[in-house]
A and B are shown apart, each in its own frame.
Chain A
């Protein structure tokens, strides 16, 4: 045998650990690029962005409450997460499927280094989701009517969900090494988390789901939400890290650092899980605060045009908008109602937490009007109806009991100045109709219109006779007198009256 001696050819390179870490990062970049360009992930992101644009253009009618808007960013990332899960699992089983494992096993990066690369490859998808979440939330926050405060922990849920689903895909791929496992899992998760109704958040266990996005019709002040958002974010982050490190450990990476990381991440998951479950039940302090906010709220008040507007501090910027509506209603009113000082008070029923739709009783005090925490869209004619009812009947409670011709006056005051009076009439009625009797929504107890009143109001709004405004001012006392008939009101305002006499039984 010959024995020619040769110089070692390997060049001097960076220190071993540094070189390996950089190679793992290079692998993560390579896999991330393929993942982000894979068909399911591209489709998911396109659908996600399209959904953001479609939804956010006119969400909350341009008046978002940011402590609800943050939770609205959480559901769609689950779809992205499922696509990332699929892509990550496919990437992990790729070598096994295509028979490159026996080759790659003799290359420098060990299987668990590759697994670390796969686990890291889902991070850019999570970051891209974070960009989408920031875009969606930023869009809401920049709307002129936005109030409130978003929670970073709530905003982190979307990206963390993608991260956790991606890490789950890596682990499932590594454990099964089968191409069919991830699609099966995706189908199951799709039914459980995406197509299902979703957890309510009422029980501690329901917080084990990635997204617990309970929202009700009336947003609550952020300090009354009582959502264990920070613990949930810790739980999700811990779960994502645990799944990723578990995949690395299963692939052979049982170094002290991996084991320590796994212990810490599991501890974070368990801690977050336990504390979020505990946080699902309102504390005594929170219950008391919700009770106070419902019964004797601490409101910030401001004067606008002689009326007083009291709002929860987060809604203080909105008092000017409410004053604009009150001014428009009073502008078409007559008599003392034209410049009667009102007290507009923001009221909520927070006793049952977010996600509930509790009725708020009408105020009995004279000149007091309730406004809710939601605004825009139907809430505007609902509020203007309440203002008009107070101006005509004296109080909210009295307004909710109107069943005579004064109801025509109320609806004229409420709707005649709106951009689309007939549209507003339709929207403010519970059944979205403009004929027949109907319930008229308001922030507290609803009002009611008979068929005859509806006919008269419709005639007034569709083709108001010339000088209707002047007639309202001129005949204000009679138009707002208790017991005035609908026929008489119609006559005073110059439109045909109803065929039947008023009846509160309609």
Chain B
């Protein structure tokens, strides 16, 4: 019995820039959200966990396998599904061919078994009807689902999704959330996103990163709770607030340390996220 992912002290530098600094985490089945501003190190962490780049420091295991060794790395890759931030496609391939190709690269060698698996994952992402269509003729949302199918093929125990909902319209994003929620049943999913709504709707856990470090690791409710008593409304933007913005009602919503007598407002996950970043020393503005 081993945890799905267990990392301690992960570090990675690009020149003088510390992209990851002493990151430790343990991931369990279900969807874990990874929030953070641009440059926080989310994609770097995902690439390290996906064995795309090795960490300079620290160690981690996936399903008990150490990717620090060649054999271990291969074992991790056998159990990994990875959807990169900007997945590439072979436009002349059909959806089926592309996922089939990825399946072969995942060592699914038996043709009949592999094709059955490819049909299964394409049906799972609701692309069964267009599996024979060339990728260049698919919409952006469909392509993203092809990429998800490619990540899901082979039934990996650990799924790494790097901002999968970027660029999708609200309807497509909602559809994608359903798919991710389904994918998270029975396997461990690490979902990097800028969308706190994604985390609120999908994740049983959330990790917030800033400047290469983990500044929060807990449940969405715990992150939201961090903002309890630190969100208030006012008729003018409060200059003492960490962040503040005019809402649809015309009043200002402020986040930070409220002045005496301020009118408290119900905190959200996003408020908690902003405050977590602020607590980590990252400038937040809204």
Contact = CB atoms under 8 A, between A and B. Distances in A.
Contacts of A419: none
A4 B88 contact: no
Contacts of B205: 2
Interface string A13-31: 1001001101101110110
B104 A106 contact: no
A25 B107 CA distance: 10
A463 interface: no
Interface in A179-220: none
Contact of B105 (A1, A22, A94, A107): A107
A114 interface: yes
A108 B78 contact: yes
A123 to B, nearest CB: 17
B1 interface: yes
Interface residues of B, number: 48
Interface in A88-116: 94-95, 98-109, 114
Contacts of A8: 2, 63-64, 79, 157
B1 A5 contact: yes
A103 B29 contact: no
Contacts of B109: 19, 22-23, 25-26
B26 A23 contact: no
Contact of B1 (A7, A19, A98, A105): A7
B187 interface: yes
B74 A108 contact: yes
Query: Of residues B51, B52, B105, which shows the largest number of chain A Cβ atoms within 10 Å of its Cβ?
Result: B105
B217 interface: yes
Contact of B104 (A13, A30, A98): A30
B3 A5 contact: yes
B245 interface: no
A88 to B, nearest CB: 16
Given A100-B89, A103-B88, A2 B105 contact: no
Contact of A3 (B3, B89, B111, B157): B3
B48 to A, nearest CB: 11
A466 interface: no
A22 B104 CA distance: 9
A359 interface: no
Query: Of residues B1, B4, B107, B156, which shows the largest number of chain A Cβ atoms within 10 Å of its Cβ?
Result: B107
B77 A106 contact: yes
Nearest to A14: B109
Interface in B1-49: 1-4, 24-26, 28-29
Contacts of A94: 90
Interface string A246-281: 000000000000000000000000000000000000
Contacts of A99: 86, 88
Contacts of A20: 107
B164 to A, nearest CB: 13
A144 interface: no
Nearest to B87: A103
Interface in B67-87: 74-75, 77-80, 82, 84, 86-87
Contacts of B105: 23, 27, 104, 107-109, 114
A449 B74 CA distance: 85
Nearest to B52: A106
B104 A27 contact: yes
B91 interface: yes
Interface in B190-227: 205, 217
A456 B224 CA distance: 117
B102 interface: yes
Contacts of B80: 106
A26 B86 contact: no
Given A8-B64, A10-B63, A109-B105, A2 B26 contact: yes
B50 interface: yes
A334 B105 CA distance: 83
Given A2-B26, A103-B88, A114-B105, 8 more contacts: A13-B107, A19-B107, A20-B107, A102-B52, A103-B82, A106-B50, A107-B106, A109-B104
23 contacts: A2-B26, A4-B28, A8-B63, A8-B64, A10-B78, A10-B157, A19-B107, A22-B107, A23-B105, A23-B107, A26-B114, A29-B111, A30-B100, A98-B88, A98-B91, A99-B86, A101-B88, A102-B52, A103-B87, A103-B150, A106-B50, A107-B106, A109-B106
Interface of B: 1-4, 24-26, 28-29, 50-52, 63-64, 74-75, 77-80, 82, 84, 86-91, 100-102, 104-111, 114, 150, 155-157, 187-188, 205, 217
